[in-house]
Amino acid sequence: MPGLSRIQLYVLWRMLMAILVAFLVIAAVELLVDFVSVSRDVGARVDITPGQVLGLTLMKSPSVLLILLPFVFLFGTLAAFVGLNRRSELIAMRAAGISAWRFIFPAAVAAFVIGVLAATVLNPAASALNAQYEKSRARFMNNYLAGAAKDVWLRQGAGQRQTVIHAKSRTEGDSVVLNGVSVFFYNVDAQGVPQFERRVEAKQARLGQGGLVLSDVNSARPGGFVEHSDSLTLPSTVRDPSGLLRTSQAGEVSFWDLPGAIRRAEQAGLTSTSYQIALQQLIATPLLYAAMAVLAAAFSLRLMRLGGLAGLAGAGVALGFAFFFFNEVCGALGRSSIIPTYAAAWAPPILALLSGLTLLCYTEDG
C-alpha cells in the first residue's frame, strides 16, 4: 500500500502471514472433515477410489472454506497482534508515539480488499466447483439423487391472467423434465379475486423455444367439458427452469448469478428473499472481514505487564463466534421475512465493526 511507513508495512506483513497460517490450519481441518464425510456419503454406496474421494473433496471444500473465512481473519489477526504484544513490539511502537489507529487501519483495509476478492472472485469459483461436485457425485451414484422426482410449484402471469403449475420434476442430463403436470388457469377480477377458468393435465412437459411444451394433454373447463390433444404449448417467462427446479440453496449460487436468479424467481412467482439476502451478505463480506480484523486487534492491545491478555484474547474469540452465529440467525430471520433483507445482511458486520471501534477508542484514547 503506498504511503505506509515501514512500521505499518511490518505490522501488515505480520498480520497477512498470520492470516495465511490460520487459513492453512482451518483448511487442513476442513479438508479432513470433508474427506471423511464424502467417504461415508459416496464411498459407502458405490465403489470409489481414495483419489476420486479426494477429487470430490477438493471440489466441495472451497464453498465451506468461504463460510469459515471470517474465523480466519479473527484468529489470524488476533495471533499477529498478540505475538507483537508478547515481544513488546507494540509497546515500543506506542512509546515512539505511533497510535494504534495507524497500524490497525492498514490491517482493516487489507481485510476489506480480500473481502472484495472473496465475494467477486473466490465465491464464483467456489460455486462452480460445488456445481461440478454435485454433477460428479450424481455420476458416481448413477444419478440416483439427481434423477429423483421432486415436487414443484410454479406461478407465472401478468395482470389479470395467472397460471399455477404443479408437477414432478427430474433431471435428464442438463435439462429438466416435468411429469404429471397440472396447470391451473385463473382470471383475476376487479376486486383482485382469482376466478378459476380451466385446468390442463399433461403426462410430460419440457421447455421449448415457444414456452412450455406439454404432451398427452387433457383440458377441462367448469361444467365437465374435456378436450384431448397430443401436445400444447404454453407461453412461459421461465427461460432456464433448472435454476428454479434444482434443490441448490441460495448460498450455492455465485455472486454474479444471483441477480439473474432473483429475476427468474420473481418471473416464476416464487419468493426471491433468500437470493436477495445471499446477495446482500456477499456485498457486506468486505465489511465483515474488516470488522473481524478490527475486533481481533482491539482485544490484543492490552499491555503485557498489566496481565489478563490471554483472557482478553479468549473473550475476543468468543465475541467473534457470537457475531458469526448472530449473522446466521439474522440470515434465517431475513429468509423468513421476519426482519428486512438489508437488516439481516448488514446489521451483524456493522455491529461487529462498531464494537471493535468502541473498544479501540476505550483502549487507545481512554
pLDDT at 146 over 60: no
The reply to whether 34 and 124 lie within a common domain is: yes
The reply to whether 17 and 122 lie within a common domain is: yes
How many other CB atoms are found less than 10 A from the CB of residue 336? 11
The reply to whether 119 and 155 lie within a common domain is: no
Domain contains 269: no
At 172-211, the pLDDT tens digits run 655 667 888 888 888 877 776 777 888 888 888 887 666 7
Helices 100-117, 50-86: axis angle to 10 degrees equals 170
Give the integer Cα–Cα distance in Å for 97 and 87.
18
Percent of the chain scoring above 70 in pLDDT? 81
Domain contains 189: yes
Query: Confidence class of residue 304 from pLDDT cuts 50, 70 and 90?
Result: low
228 strand-pairing partners: 218
Domain contains 255: no
Task: Indicate the pTM of the whole model.
Answer: 0.74
How many other CB atoms are found less than 10 A from the CB of residue 332? 13
Give the integer Cα–Cα distance in Å for 55 and 122.
19
Cell 400444447 appears where?
A: 232
Give the integer Cα–Cα distance in Å for 108 and 77.
10
The reply to whether 165 and 232 lie within a common domain is: yes
Specify the pLDDT at position 143.
47
Domain contains 256: no
The reply to whether 291 and 353 lie within a common domain is: yes
Domain contains 285: yes
Domain of 334 in residue numbering reads as 6-141+274-365
2 backbone dihedrals φ, ψ, rounded to 5°: -70, 145
Domain contains 302: yes
The reply to whether 95 and 74 lie within a common domain is: yes
Q: What's 305's DSSP letter?
A: G
CA angle 358, 359, 365 (to 5 degrees): 85
Domain contains 350: yes
Residues 6+ apart with CB under 8 A from 215: 202, 203, 204, 205, 230, 231
The reply to whether 181 and 240 lie within a common domain is: yes
Helices 273-283, 258-267: axis angle to 10 degrees equals 160
Q: How many domains does the chain have?
A: 2
The reply to whether 125 and 164 lie within a common domain is: no
Query: Which triple of cell numbers denotes residue 117?
Result: 476478492
What's the mean per-residue pLDDT of the chain? Answer: 80
269 vs 222: which has the higher pLDDT = 222
Domain contains 298: yes
Average pLDDT, integer, range 86-93: 78
Q: What's 177's DSSP letter?
A: E
Give the integer Cα–Cα distance in Å for 56 and 140.
10
The reply to whether 325 and 241 lie within a common domain is: no
The reply to whether 133 and 154 lie within a common domain is: no
Residue 327's closest CA among 309, 360, 351? 351
CATH number for the domain harbouring residue 174: 2.60.450
At 152-173, the pLDDT tens digits run 777 776 667 778 888 887 666 5
How many other CB atoms are found less than 10 A from the CB of residue 53? 20
The reply to whether 287 and 187 lie within a common domain is: no
Average pLDDT, integer, range 7-29: 90
